[in-house]
Amino acid sequence: MFPTDRPRRLRTDGVRPLVSETDLSASDLIAPVFVDATTDERVAIESMPGHERVPVGEAVDRVEEVLATGVEAVMVFGIPESKDEVGSRAYAEDGVVQRAVRDIAAETDAYVITDVCLCEYTDHGHCGVLEDDAADDPTLTVRNDETLDLLSNTAVSHADAGADMVAPSSMTDGMVGAIREGLDEARFAEVPIMSYAVKYESAFYGPFRDAADGAPAFGDRRHYQMDPANRREALREARLDADEGADVLMVKPGLPYLDIVRDVREHSDLPVAAYNVSGEYAMLHAAADRGWLDLEETAHESLLSMKRAGADLILTYFAEDIADRL
Ligand code: PBG
């Protein structure tokens, strides 16, 4: 008895590319860029090998490096010169992101996306305005509705500086609607919103919080970010953001949440983005350093799996390395 159905026939070198179902290209990728108002020199980010915080004056050079690899889109994160209770440097006209974006938009052809959140800008490190007794009572944290205007102002100030797209990541209920309204009133009706619609309260953000100096001073983010145990809730978040006017829906993190990427893909007709987060990047680097994994192969396979799960675009710290190889 011989098998009549032989999938191996389609695995020769000649035919494999012809029957390949998914591919990854540089045009799918967004490279995160960190701009730091507290330094005059580039500072290596220890937990994210190969990444640096760059001073505002080098933002354009940094983006040119990304473009040289074939990646055409960047996500700009800022580290402000000072922090306060309400994150006022997030929406300042001369804030770190606003200054960097003005230069990048004027001097490069990159598609510029900005992260819209307050956690890097508040002295307590939470993603919005705090309840009065939050530090004493860990069940209290961010005041949802008071945060909406600040997010909207931040997004408008980014668009005003020349951002092509804004990406709110604070998991504030109503954030997409508030930002859409703010942008439209400020005559930025053409600026799309990529919502971090489905953002889990994940331990995989550790290295980023070092990189962007955005760890909460007390408590955690489980009162506003999603419980990793939940799947149906992801669809609810995605639907709400789509109804409020989101143009792209993001799922974050990526690898541990591929089922969610697939769910959102199947339930929405909007483009879906996956965020291959800092912890996913750091763990492959750590294993590769020890000679336990091949870095490029595992990075490529990770990103390909996100495409296969249904992501149209991927935000990843591997963007430049992978694009170079593609
Ligand atoms: C800001 C923000 C975070 C990340 C992206 N935007 C931090 C957080 O929510 O704690 C994490 C990205 C990563 O880990 O790569 N709110």
Classify residue 235: in a domain, yes or no. yes
| Overall number of domains in the chain | 1
Residue 245 backbone phi and psi in degrees, to 5:
115, 15
Q: Is the pTM of this model over 0.80?
A: yes
**Confidence tier at 227 by pLDDT (50, 70, 90):** very high
> For 92, left (φ over 0), alpha (ψ -120 to 50), or beta?
beta
Residue 20 in this model has a pLDDT that exceeds 80: yes
pLDDT at 232 over 80: yes
Any atom of ligand 1 within 6 Å of the Cβ of 208: yes
- % of the chain with per-residue pLDDT over 90: 88
Q: Say how far residue 317 (Cα) sits from the centre of its chain.
A: 10
- For residues 30 and 75, the answer to whether their CB atoms sit within 8 Å is yes
Catalytic, out of 99, 252, 265, 285 = 252
Residue nearest to atom 14 of ligand 1 (CA): 205
Distance 205 CA to ligand 1 centre (A): 6
**Residue with CA closest to ligand 1 atom 11:** 205
Is 251 domain-assigned?
yes
Position with higher pLDDT, 21 vs 125: 21
Average pLDDT over residues 246-253: 98
Range of the structural domain that residue 36 is part of: 7-325
Assign residue 146 the CATH number of its domain.
3.20.20.70
pLDDT score, position 140: 61
Q: Are 187 and 181 in contact (CB under 8 A)?
A: no
Q: pLDDT by residue (tens digit) across 49-64?
A: 999 999 999 999 999 9
pLDDT in tens, 106-143: 999 999 999 999 999 999 988 998 887 766 666 667 89
Nearest residue to 244 via CA among 288, 195, 295, 317:
195
pLDDT (0 to 100) of residue 221: 86
Residue-level pLDDT at 163: 98
Q: 302 in a domain, yes or no? A: yes
User: Measured between alpha carbons, how far is 34 from 56 in angstroms, rounded to an integer?
Assistant: 9
166 occurs within a structural domain? yes
Asked whether 61 and 54 are in contact (CB, 8 A), the reply is: yes
Band of pLDDT at residue 326, cut at 50, 70 and 90 = confident
C-alpha distances (whole Å) from 63 to each of 42, 47, 291 are 14, 21, 31
Which two tokens mark 101?
A: 């974006």
Whether the Cβ atoms of residue 273 and residue 251 lie closer than 8 Å to each other: yes
Element containing residue 143 per DSSP (H, E): strand 142-143
The verdict on residue 2 lying in a domain is: no
Instruction: Identify whether 76 is part of a domain.
Output: yes
- Check pLDDT > 90 for residue 220: no
Q: Which residues are annotated as a binding site?
A: 117, 119, 127, 209, 221, 237, 278, 317
Q: Say how far apart CA 31 and CA 200 lie, in whole Å.
A: 21
**pLDDT at residue 219, as a whole number:** 82
What pLDDT is stored for residue 132 in this prediction? 77
What are 74-83's pLDDT values in tens digits? Answer: 999 999 999 9
Q: Is the peptide bond before 253 cis (omega within 30 degrees of 0)?
A: yes
Residue 23 lies in a domain: yes
The confidence score (pLDDT) of residue 324 equals 86
Lowest-pLDDT choice from 172-176, 219-223, 289-293: 219-223
* CB of residue 325 inside a 6 A radius of ligand 1: no
Please give the pLDDT value at position 84.
93
What does the DSSP assignment read for 269-304?
SS-EEEEE-HHHHHHHHHHHHTTSS-HHHHHHHHHH
Using CA atoms, how far apart are residues 314 and 204, in angstroms rounded to an integer? 16
Name the amino acid, one letter, at 281.
Y
- Residue 1 lies inside a defined structural domain of this protein: no
Binding site for Mg(2+): residue ranges? 237
Q: Which residue has the higher pLDDT, 1 or 78?
A: 78
Please tell me which residue in 51, 124, 199, 307 is annotated as part of the active site: 199
Q: What's the confidence (pLDDT) of residue 134?
A: 67
- Split at pLDDT 50, 70, 90, the class of 241 is very high
**Annotated catalytic, 83?**
no
Residues in the chain: 326
Catalytic residue check, 307: no
